[in-house]
Amino acid sequence: MQIAVPKEIKNHEYRVALTPTGARELVGRGHTVTVQAGAGEGAGFADAAYEAAGARLEADVARVWEGAELILKVKEPQAEEVARLKAGQTLFTYLHLAAEESLTRGLMASGATCIAYETITDRQGGLPLLAPMSTVAGRMAIQAGAHSLEKAQGGAGVLLPGVPGVAPARVAVIGGGVVGENAARMALGLGAEVTVLDKSIPRLETLDDRYQGRMKTVFSTADAIDEAVCECDLIVGAVLIPGAAAPKLITREMLAEMKPGSVLVDVAIDQGGCFETSRATTHTGPTYIVDGVVHYCVANMPGAVARTSTQALTNATMPFVTALADKGWQQALADDPHFLPGLNVHDGRVTYQAVADAFGLESVDPASLLG
Ligand SMILES: NC(=O)c1ccc[n+]([C@@H]2O[C@H](COP(=O)([O-])OP(=O)(O)OC[C@H]3O[C@@H](n4cnc5c(N)ncnc54)[C@H](O)[C@@H]3O)[C@@H](O)[C@H]2O)c1
């Protein structure tokens, strides 16, 4: 199969969808891999390493896309990339369509087959291609939050662990999944006082058991969130309703109850954000202030630690990439019921219910497309 790996063009996105090790594996299986020159540079993978792995380097971006049957990316395609996509091609990448109507319609218009990393499932009901990036983002959320609490960033001037004689900061994490657990774990490690709120009792049980009472677990209700808003110095938004836009759990009105200089880190911004006042930011201007509260809402947090993230992401994507390359998308999805929900758009139609619901579109059962 002709496989293409374009260079990511989203602002400050340095990850790449395939490492030289991955390229070697695909070439070894008889596939042709074309990597856009410089695609791996930001993650520390030189062009020469891809060449040594048997990949073909291509400087002209149009030619990278043109001849490809399977396109591997990291972030959702940007407008100029959507324009390059055509019927007969398969795109495998993060899409997050439920928060992006124009992208959804653009992909439908392309006629291509679009498979999203984030809606592929596993036997435990988890999201195995979201998990590695969620781990990275969760861990980064506390680094970002701690930095935002500094006075020069508009924060309250609070040090997360406090010092002897000065109490540590209070951190609340809303959503105790992969992002939330990793954020809570980092905050605990830094000595903060940590509360995790979740709607899932089994999840709260797991956290309680795993951390032996070192973090507080609280069932997530409007009242519980209100209490966290009044008390905490740093709140991390880490909720997810798979494939759907994030619910707005902190309203603009509630900001008035927060301490001046407190910080909101909305990791769920890639699903539209879970705070009413969140709007996506980039690594060049990661924060802004609303009513005295610092907001950090970077939609591609793992891009800032591109090397770690690329390795973690490709460890998880490679089995799916090899299945797509070896068997083609129909057989690969037919053989794996957990791969099947990855299909979001095919030949002009939406195949993922939550995305269709978000925009009042009709959804087609992906199983019906497998022949
Ligand atoms: N900004 C970034 O760079 C970045 C990177 C990775 C992941 N994310 C996003 O982070 C979010 C969380 O991802 P995850 O992998 O941790 O998901 P997850 O499914 O592991 O966890 C989500 C948790 O949210 C809980 N939840 C749902 N509704 C809730 C509510 N009303 N109150 C409290 N908890 C609630 C669920 O029970 C679940 O435990 C997603 O939106 C994901 O797309 C963003």
* Ligand 1 site, CB within 6 A: 130, 133-134, 137, 174-180, 197-200, 203, 220, 238-241, 246-247, 249, 267-271, 299-302
Q: Which of 31, 96, 295, 346 is catalytic?
A: 96
Nearest to 52, CA basis, from 21, 76, 75: 21
Ligand 1 nearest atom to the CA of residue 274, by list position? 41
For every residue of 79-144, DSSP letters joined together read HHHHHH--TT-EEEE---GGG-HHHHHHHHHHT-EEEEGGG---TTS--TTTHHHHHHHHHHHHHH
Answer whether residue 184 shows pLDDT above 70. Answer: yes
The end-to-end CA distance of the chain, in Å, is 20
Burial class (CB in 10 A: 0-12, 13-18, 19+), 292: middle
Instruction: Give catalytic status of residue 96 as yes or no.
Output: yes
Going from the Cα of 239 to the center of ligand 1, the distance in angstroms, rounded, reads 3
Per DSSP bridges, beta strands 193-198 and 170-174 are parallel
Per-residue confidence (pLDDT) for residue 296, from 0 to 100: 98
In this structure, which long-range contacts are made by residues 204-212, counting pairs with CB atoms below 8 Å and at least 24 apart in sequence? 204/176, 207/176, 207/181, 211/184, 211/185
Residues 37-94: tens digit of each pLDDT: 999 999 999 999 999 999 999 999 999 999 999 999 999 999 999 999 999 999 999 9
The CATH architecture to which 2-120+307-369 belongs is: 3-Layer(aba) Sandwich (3.40)
Per-residue confidence (pLDDT) for residue 243, from 0 to 100: 64
Answer whether residue 3 shows pLDDT above 80. Answer: yes
Nearest CA residue ID for atom 6, ligand 1:
134
Per-residue confidence (pLDDT) for residue 271, from 0 to 100: 86
Q: What is the mean pLDDT of residues 275-285?
A: 95
Q: Which residues are annotated as a binding site for substrate?
A: 15, 75
Residues 307/34, Cβ–Cβ less than 8 Å = no
Nearest to 196, CA basis, from 184, 182, 213: 184
Residues 185-220: tens digit of each pLDDT: 999 999 999 999 999 999 999 999 999 999 999 999
Residues 90/329, Cβ–Cβ less than 8 Å = yes
One of 3.40.50.300, 1.10.274.10, 3.40.50.720, 3.20.20.70 is the CATH number of 131-299, namely 3.40.50.720
Cα pseudo-dihedral 361, 362, 368, 371, rounded to 10: -70
Going from the Cα of 311 to the center of ligand 1, the distance in angstroms, rounded, reads 22
Per-residue confidence (pLDDT) for residue 241, from 0 to 100: 87
Ligand 1 nearest atom to the CA of residue 300, by list position? 3
Residues of the chain with CATH 3.40.50.720: 2-120+307-369, 131-299
Residues 220-258: tens digit of each pLDDT: 999 999 999 999 999 999 999 876 789 999 999 999 999
Going from the Cα of 177 to the center of ligand 1, the distance in angstroms, rounded, reads 6
- Structure tokens that stand for 145 in this block: 């939050």
| Residue 41 DSSP one-character state | G
Going from the Cα of 121 to the center of ligand 1, the distance in angstroms, rounded, reads 15
| Three-state secondary-structure class, residue 237 | strand
C-beta neighbour count of 351 within 10 angstroms? 25
Residues 302-357: tens digit of each pLDDT: 989 999 999 999 999 999 999 999 999 999 999 999 999 999 999 999 999 999 99
**From CA 279, how far away is CA 266, in angstroms rounded?**
9
Residues 105-158: tens digit of each pLDDT: 999 999 999 999 999 999 988 899 999 999 999 999 999 999 999 999 999 999
Ligand 1 nearest atom to the CA of residue 266, by list position? 1
Q: Which of 47, 233, 266, 270 is catalytic?
A: 270
Sign of CA dihedral 249, 251, 255, 256: negative
Instruction: Give catalytic status of residue 291 as yes or no.
Output: no
Nearest CA residue ID for atom 11, ligand 1:
268
Length of the chain: 371
270 pLDDT band, cuts 50/70/90, is: confident
**From CA 218, how far away is CA 175, in angstroms rounded?**
10
